[in-house]
């Protein structure tokens, strides 16, 4: 479970499971709990009430700030209903005038529709899906008139396709002000480069008028000529801007950035290309099943440049960490599994997602529906009969992607959309491919991706493994599939199989020209699972295998066997390179220099003589070096 942010300005919390209903809950017994968080004692509850008291902060005004109410809830101060969160994406901001101690009562609800996401499945332990205040809870003191919030929407205009860096930038800014006694003043808005060596900024002023006890919003548009753009790590700098709103002695700021994300291609088929500010960026990603800030550093450690919030909303702190680290964010709506859904509700959530994450330059991709079919709940082998069964399951898959496309149209411009991530037969925009796990062996990858034209964008692949010998919490782990493919008992055999599969599939997809390659998953949610890290962040063997397969410049031997075979050198960097490829294969060895274009590939022939037991490849260019060995 992700670490919670500390709450501030509140007394100890107590909670109770209560019956659903519209009235104020009045349980017979309250139990001590830690918030923000997910009190496991209430796992499986449909509604949980949480109560605390807020001491007088000693200021003219105060603001209650709650974030991450799963999957929605209501808020009462001193018995008065003051706010409703429609989903976990809705932050709660309630100004109030302190008058001694204030009672706070929050009720949080389990999902009652299709939009519970991964937390409404068995892929996450029930204790980690408890209705609660997951991300933040606190009270901040303020003067009589103050800046309640600053929301930004960065936009890029211009760019002729040949040089998309020749653009202009605009930051649409909405400043929300609250006043106890009324205000007629001017707001100062400053926009300048963030970080060290901040440079010159842009200053603007705007009139603010509000009556006593009113909240008002001031909207401005800040134009940035020749803006400094944000790029993912390995491609360019993570330029950002700080927007600061000041009114009297009160101020509030937010950090944002400008980037234009595009995906050009026919769904998951060949020919797709992902670009950031016009620059082709091959994606090497990992899914987050229950994202935490620490996962960003783990993703970087396996050479990923993207994290995908797999069917759940990532905490805003994760997106902030991605902004700083240069890691792209692929954000799913909380919608997974077969079944129809309310399109209007989906549109509302997509709009809320855009408002919540749109200020983050790392937001790259949005998906509406994850895994809409379930044709491979039972594993298929690799024999002729199972191949026929595979084709039958794909043929009989029945999915209407129209509703997902309708919801995706709500996503703001400047962010790529891959509306559907799914298995063969679901007509996905990004494929879920599980050779060696759901079906066949690893070599089924070529047959499946070519037959069903699913080679360009792969939104998930992988295999599960044990983190402990006898898992007590197996959420997200299919033991039957595992036992069908792992030859041996215990953790070592389990992790060895996962490492070999994950590394092989990742490198093969890259060598075959996939533009988007995302491994499922970064970290387990239980004592076993699809993660290359265990639930506490310990590295499994697959973490090293994935880090090797995801090296930005990497050589891949397409067929590690006796004979003459192609070695493909993949260059994910943004510039043309001369790569020295060196190989050893038994009595054969060689070296050649290959010209490899930016985000491109080049091929050389490698001879593997009879009797060879190990083949090693080394790719070297400038300060980048990678090595790989293949056991024959």
Q: Tell whether 3 is covered by a domain.
A: no
Give the pLDDT band of residue 4 (cuts 50, 70, 90): very low
The domain boundary, picked from 111, 141, 171, lies at: 141
Residues 350 and 383 occupy one common structural domain: yes
The answer to whether residue 8 scores a pLDDT higher than 90 is no
Instruction: Write the pLDDT tens digit of every residue in 527-572.
Output: 999 999 999 999 999 999 999 999 999 999 999 999 999 999 999 9
Residues 361 and 337 occupy one common structural domain: yes
pLDDT at 164: 60
Residue 49 belongs to a domain with what CATH number?
A: 2.60.120.260
Q: Tell whether 537 is covered by a domain.
A: no
Residues 285 and 198 occupy one common structural domain: no
Q: Is the peptide bond before 36 cis (omega within 30 degrees of 0)?
A: yes
* Euclidean distance between CA atoms 400 and 254, whole angstroms: 40
HEC profile for 103-141?
EEEEEEECCCCCCCHHHHCCCCCHHHHCCEEEEEEEEEE
Burial of 590 (0-12, 13-18, 19+ CB in 10 A): middle
Q: Quickly tell me which residue has 């807020």 as its tokens.
A: 54
Q: Between vectors from CA 354 to CA 515 and to CA 286, what angle results, nearest 5°? A: 35
Residue 219 belongs to a domain with what CATH number?
A: 2.60.40.10
Residue 440 belongs to a domain with what CATH number?
A: 3.20.20.80
The answer to whether residue 87 scores a pLDDT higher than 80 is yes
pLDDT at 7: 47
Instruction: Write the pLDDT tens digit of every residue in 321-365.
Output: 999 999 999 999 999 999 999 999 999 999 999 999 999 999 999
Q: Enter the tokens of residue 155.
A: 């936009």
Q: Tell whether 541 is covered by a domain.
A: no
Q: Tell whether 593 is covered by a domain.
A: yes
The answer to whether residue 165 scores a pLDDT higher than 90 is no
- Mean pLDDT for 288-316 is 98
The answer to whether residue 268 scores a pLDDT higher than 60 is no
* Counted domains in the chain: 4
pLDDT at 101: 95
* Euclidean distance between CA atoms 251 and 375, whole angstroms: 54
Residues 158 and 90 occupy one common structural domain: no
Residues 307 and 455 occupy one common structural domain: yes
Domain of residue 196, residue span: 145-256
The answer to whether residue 175 scores a pLDDT higher than 80 is yes
Residues 117 and 212 occupy one common structural domain: no
Q: Tell whether 480 is covered by a domain.
A: no
Instruction: Write the pLDDT tens digit of every residue in 390-445.
Output: 999 999 999 999 999 999 999 988 899 999 999 999 999 999 999 999 999 999 99
* Euclidean distance between CA atoms 57 and 96, whole angstroms: 11
Residues 275 and 325 occupy one common structural domain: yes
* Euclidean distance between CA atoms 137 and 611, whole angstroms: 65
pLDDT at 272: 74
Residues 415 and 280 occupy one common structural domain: yes
pLDDT at 5: 37
Q: Enter the tokens of residue 218.
A: 């001031």
Q: Tell whether 161 is covered by a domain.
A: yes
The answer to whether residue 166 scores a pLDDT higher than 80 is no
Question: CB 226: neighbour CB atoms within 10 A?
Answer: 10
Residues 434 and 390 occupy one common structural domain: yes
Residues 163 and 80 occupy one common structural domain: no
Q: Tell whether 536 is covered by a domain.
A: no
Instruction: Write the pLDDT tens digit of every residue in 182-224.
Output: 999 999 999 999 987 666 789 999 999 999 999 999 999 999 9
Residues 60 and 169 occupy one common structural domain: no
Q: Tell whether 235 is covered by a domain.
A: yes
pLDDT at 241: 97
The domain boundary, picked from 110, 141, 172, lies at: 141
Numbers of helices and strands, H then E, in the chain: 9, 38
Residues 278 and 357 occupy one common structural domain: yes
């Amino acid at each position: 479970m992700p670490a919670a942010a500390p709450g501030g300005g509140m007394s100890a919390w107590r909670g109770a499971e209560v019956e659903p209903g519209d009235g104020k809950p009045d349980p017979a017994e309250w139990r001590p709990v830690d918030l923000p968080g997910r009190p496991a004692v209430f796992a499986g509850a449909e509604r949980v009430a949480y109560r605390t008291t807020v001491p007088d902060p000693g200021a003219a005004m105060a603001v209650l700030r709650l974030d991450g109410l799963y999957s929605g809830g209501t808020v009462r101060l001193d018995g008065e209903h003051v706010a409703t969160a429609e989903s976990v994406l809705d932050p709660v901001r309630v100004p109030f005038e302190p008058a001694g101690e204030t009672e706070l009562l929050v009720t949080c609800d389990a999902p009652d529709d299709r939009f519970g996401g991964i937390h409404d499945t068995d892929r996450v332990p029930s204790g980690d899906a408890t209705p609660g205040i997951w991300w933040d809870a606190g009270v901040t003191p303020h003067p009589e008139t103050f800046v309640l919030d600053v929301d930004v929407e960065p936009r890029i205009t211009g760019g002729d396709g040949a040089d998309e860096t020749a653009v202009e930038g605009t930051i649409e800014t909405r400043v929300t002000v609250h006043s106890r006694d009324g205000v007629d003043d001017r707001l100062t808005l400053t926009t300048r480069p963030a970080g060290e060596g901040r440079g010159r900024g842009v200053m603007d002023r705007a009139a603010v008028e509000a009556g006593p006890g009113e909240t008002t919003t001031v909207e401005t548009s800040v134009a940035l000529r020749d803006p400094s753009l944000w790029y993912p790590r390995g491609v360019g700098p993570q330029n950002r801007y700080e927007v600061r709103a000041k009114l009297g002695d009160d101020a509030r700021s937010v950090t944002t950035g400008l980037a234009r994300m595009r995906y050009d291609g026919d769904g998951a088929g060949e020919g797709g290309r992902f670009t950031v500010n016009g620059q082709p960026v091959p994606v090497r990603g990992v899914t987050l099943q229950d994202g935490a800030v620490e996962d960003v550093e783990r993703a970087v450690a396996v050479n990923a440049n993207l994290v995908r919030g797999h069917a759940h909303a990532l905490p805003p702190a994760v997106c902030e960490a991605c902004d700083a680290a240069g890691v792209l964010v692929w954000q799913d709506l909380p919608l997974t599994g077969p079944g129809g859904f309310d399109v209007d509700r989906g549109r509302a959530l997509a709009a809320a997602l855009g408002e919540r994450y749109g200020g983050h330059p790392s937001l790259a991709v949005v998906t509406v529906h994850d895994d809409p079919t379930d044709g491979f709940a039972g594993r298929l082998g690799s024999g002729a009969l199972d191949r026929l069964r595979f084709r039958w399951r794909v043929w009989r898959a029945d999915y209407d992607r129209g509703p997902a496309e309708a919801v995706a149209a709500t996503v703001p411009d400047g962010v790529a959309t891959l509306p559907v991530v799914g298995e063969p037969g679901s007509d996905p925009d990004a494929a879920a491919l599980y050779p060696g796990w759901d079906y066949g062996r690893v070599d089924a990858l070529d047959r499946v991706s070519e037959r069903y034209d699913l080679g360009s964008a792969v939104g998930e692949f992988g295999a599960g493994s044990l983190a402990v010998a006898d898992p007590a919490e197996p959420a997200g782990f299919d033991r039957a599939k595992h036992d069908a493919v792992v030859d041996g008992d215990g953790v070592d055999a389990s992790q060895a199989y996962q490492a070999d599969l994950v590394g092989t599939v990742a490198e093969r997809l890259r060598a075959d020209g996939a533009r988007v390659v995302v491994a499922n998953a970064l970290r387990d949610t239980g004592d076993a699972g699809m993660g290359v890290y265990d639930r506490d962040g310990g590295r499994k063997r697959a973490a090293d295998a994935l880090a090797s397969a995801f090296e930005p410049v990497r050589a891949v031997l397409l067929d590690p066997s006796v004979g003459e075979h192609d070695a493909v050198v993949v260059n994910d960097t943004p510039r043309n390179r001369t790569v020295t490829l060196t190989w050893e294969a038994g009595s054969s060895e060689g070296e050649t220099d290959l010209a490899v274009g930016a985000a491109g590939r080049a091929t050389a022939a490698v001879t593997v003589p009879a009797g060879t037991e190990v083949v090693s490849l080394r790719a070297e260019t400038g300060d980048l070096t990678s090595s790989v060995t293949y056991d024959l």
